[in-house]
Amino acid sequence: MKNRVAQFGVFVALALIFSYVETLVPVFFVVPGMKLGLANLVTVIVLYKLGGKEAFWVLTVRVLLAGFLFGNLFSILYAMAGGALSFAVMVIAKKSGKFSVMGVSIAGGAFHNVGQLIVAVLVVETYSVTYYLPVLLVAGEVTGFLIGVLSDRMLKTLKKINL
């Protein structure tokens, strides 16, 4: 694709759709904040194919739009916090060169939940929320791993395509 803006739009739209589809899938554990993180698939792929800056903007625009479309001010806050921390960790992990796509995604998944939990602590003004930290860490790790495997597969297939 030659037009950068159109390309950017396509990725944001894709991430938005994943975000929405996620809300249709019921989560079995009743733990606040649990989700599949499907939209992260787009973030990881853009990160590896186009770089950190592109990925950051795709993420930010997607979070804002998803918030306006399906969520509310609070969901934007949580998603931004989780997304920002998770993104920062993923960029660092990727730059270090020590991890594969799976590792980067695992870190991203786990820290996304940590970020959200931190905001929750600030919002409700008690530390009680940290009771959920163990479950969210493992859940984030597992979904991160799955998204990582998917991303890895896709990146290998997309290797031939130049963006």
Phi, psi for 54 (deg, rounded to 5): -60, -50
Structure-derived torsion over alpha carbons of residues 10, 12, 16, 19, reported in degrees to the nearest 10: 120
| Residue 160 near another protein by CB under 8 A | no
Per CB under 8 A, the list member of 138, 153, 156, 163 interacting with another protein is 138
**Alpha carbon of 32 to those of 62, 101, 118, 120, 137: distances in Å?**
21, 27, 13, 10, 13
* 137 scored as a contact of another protein (CB under 8 A): yes
Q: Candidates 10, 64, 76, 121: give the one binding another protein (CB under 8 A).
A: 121
Q: Which part of the chain contacts another protein (CB under 8 A), choosing from 9-17, 46-54, 80-88, 136-144?
A: 136-144
Count the Cβ atoms, other than its own, within 10 Å of residue 55.
23
Query: Which residues bind to another protein, rule: CB under 8 A?
Result: 30-32, 74, 93, 98-100, 102-103, 106-107, 110, 120-131, 133-135, 137-138, 141, 145
